[in-house]
Structures are given as structure tokens and as C-alpha cells.
Structure 1
Amino acid sequence: MNVEKFKKDHNEILALVAELRTITQAGIAKNADAIAQQIRTMSSVIKLHLAAEDRVLYPALAKSQNPAVAKVGERFQQEMGGIAAAYMEFAGKWTIGSKVSSNPEGFKEEANNLFKALHERIQKENQELYPLADQI
């Protein structure tokens, strides 16, 4: 299976996170509308990526002739559910500039926690999951 599109998505997501970080470092309250817009942009990319994984990647792994590959795919899919739900909750909360500007510290704390988990997940997929998918 060719996973280059998934890897490309990861690079795009990481670039969007880096851009969000730059915007927030310039001042959360004064850049609240730009932050909210960046989260909306990120959400579109992330939702499409998750849908593609659910429609293409995980079913292909589940059909693998190698039971170990199928099991890893299943584990990754189950783990992703929690991260995806956390992201959707985050995005639903912070896509309005006034909410960001009224609670900059809350935004910063939630963003740091979420994007740390997202970064770790992307690294795991790139290093563990996608090499397995490349074999099928």
C-alpha cells in the first residue's frame, strides 16, 4: 500500500501546527481571531486525513494476511479514537476568536497538551504504522 499521501498529510498538519505556534507566540489575546482561523484550517486537513485513514488505511491493514499487521492496525485505530475526539473537542471550543481572547491561558494549556499528543501520534504512525502498511 502506498502511504505517501498519509505522510504528506502529516507534514501539512505539522506545518499548520508550527504556524499556529508562531501566531500564539506573537500574543494569544491580540491574535485570537487568527488563532481561531488557523484551528479551523487545521480542522479541515485533520478531518480529511482521519477519514482517509478510516476508509483506506485501517481496512487494508485489517485485511492483511499477516495477523500481527492486522493487530497493530486495530490497536492504532482504537488509540486514534481518543486523540480524534480530544482534537474535535478542542477545535469546537477554540474556533471562535472571542473564546480564545477571553481565556488565553486555558487555550495555551489545552493547545500544548493536545499538540504534544498529536505530534507523538504522528511520529508513531510514521515510524511504526506506515512501514507496516508499505508492506501490504
Structure 2
Amino acid sequence: MNIDKLKDQHVQILTAVAQMRKLVRSGIAENAEAISRLVISISGIIKLHLAREDAHLYPALAAGGRELAALGSRYQQEMGGIAGSYLEFSRKWNTPGEIHADPEGFRMEANSVFKALHQRIQQENIELYPAISVLA
């Protein structure tokens, strides 16, 4: 299975998060418009990534034997919670007005959501993607 697109999407997400961190350090309220655009952009990448995983990755793992199927099932279940948290975050903070009105609330939620997202991406890169290489 070719996972290059999934890996590329990880890079896109992490790059956008790094851009957001720079904006946050420069001032959340002052950069609310650019931050909201990044929230929307990251949401789009994540939605595409999840769709690709659901359509290609998890079915390939399910067909790859008992161990790979169990691994895929665990990752898919875990991702449901992470994705739900991010999508809730993105619905709340996708406008400059919301971000400008509560910069510290945005910071707290962003730190939590992006930490979980970063950990998940690292976990996929270290554990899941190498396991998939046997399906190539």
C-alpha cells in the first residue's frame, strides 16, 4: 500500500501548526484572522486525511491478517476521539471574532488539541506506517 499521500498530509498539518504557533507567539488577538484561516486549512487537511484512512488504510489493514487488522482497528477507534476533539475545536475557533474575544481560551484549547494531534502523528509515523510496509 502506498502511504506517501498520508505522510505528505502529516507534513502539511505539522507545517500549518508551526505557522500557527508563530502567530500565537506574535499575539493571538492581533493575528486572529490569520489564525482562523489556519484552523480552517488544517481542518480541510485533516478531513481529507481521515477520508483517505477510512477508504484505503483501514480496509488494507483489515485484509492484512489478524495482527494488522487489530492494529488498524485500535488506531481507527483512537482516531475517532482525536478527530472529534479537533473538529469540535475547529467549529468553535474558525472565526476571527471568536479568537479575538477569548485569546487565552483559544490558547488553552489549541495547546491541548494540537498536542494530541502531534502525538498521534508521531505514533502513526513510528508504529503504524512501518507496520503497513509489509502490505506494499
Long gaps (5+) in structure 2: none
Hey, which bits of structure 1, 4+ residues long, moved more than 2 A?
A: none
Give the match for residue 24 of structure 1.
24
Give the match for residue 98 of structure 2.
99
- Amino acid in the other structure paired with 1:122: I
Describe the SS at the equivalent of 2:121: helix
Identity %: 51
State the shift of 1:33 in Å: 1.0
Give the match for residue 49 of structure 1.
49
State the shift of 1:105 in Å: 0.5
Give the match for residue 38 of structure 2.
38
Count residues with an aligned counterpart.
Answer: 135
State the shift of 1:40 in Å: 0.7
State the alpha-carbon separation in 1 of the partners of residues 38 and 23 from structure 2: 9
State the alpha-carbon separation in 2 of the partners of residues 123 and 106 from structure 1: 26
When the two structures are superposed, what TM-score results if normalisation uses the length of structure 1? 0.97
State the alpha-carbon separation in 2 of the partners of residues 45 and 68 from structure 1: 29
- Amino acid in the other structure paired with 1:60: A
CA RMSD of aligned residues (A): 0.7
Long gaps (5+) in structure 1: none
State the shift of 1:21 in Å: 0.7
State the shift of 1:3 in Å: 1.2
**1:35-114 alignment, distance < 5 Å:** 35-64=35-64, 66-114=65-113
- Amino acid in the other structure paired with 1:126: N
State the shift of 1:5 in Å: 1.2
State the alpha-carbon separation in 1 of the partners of residues 103 and 13 from structure 2: 22
Alignment deviations for residues 99-119 of structure 1 (CA, whole Å, 9 cap, x no partner) = 001100000000000000000
State the alpha-carbon separation in 2 of the partners of residues 74 and 80 from structure 1: 10
State the alpha-carbon separation in 1 of the partners of residues 51 and 62 from structure 2: 16
- Amino acid in the other structure paired with 2:126: Q
State the shift of 1:132 in Å: 1.2
Describe the SS at the equivalent of 1:135: helix
State the alpha-carbon separation in 1 of the partners of residues 31 and 72 from structure 2: 39
Give the match for residue 124 of structure 2.
125
Alignment deviations for residues 15-51 of structure 1 (CA, whole Å, 9 cap, x no partner) = 0100111111110011111111111111111110111
State the alpha-carbon separation in 2 of the partners of residues 124 and 38 from structure 1: 23
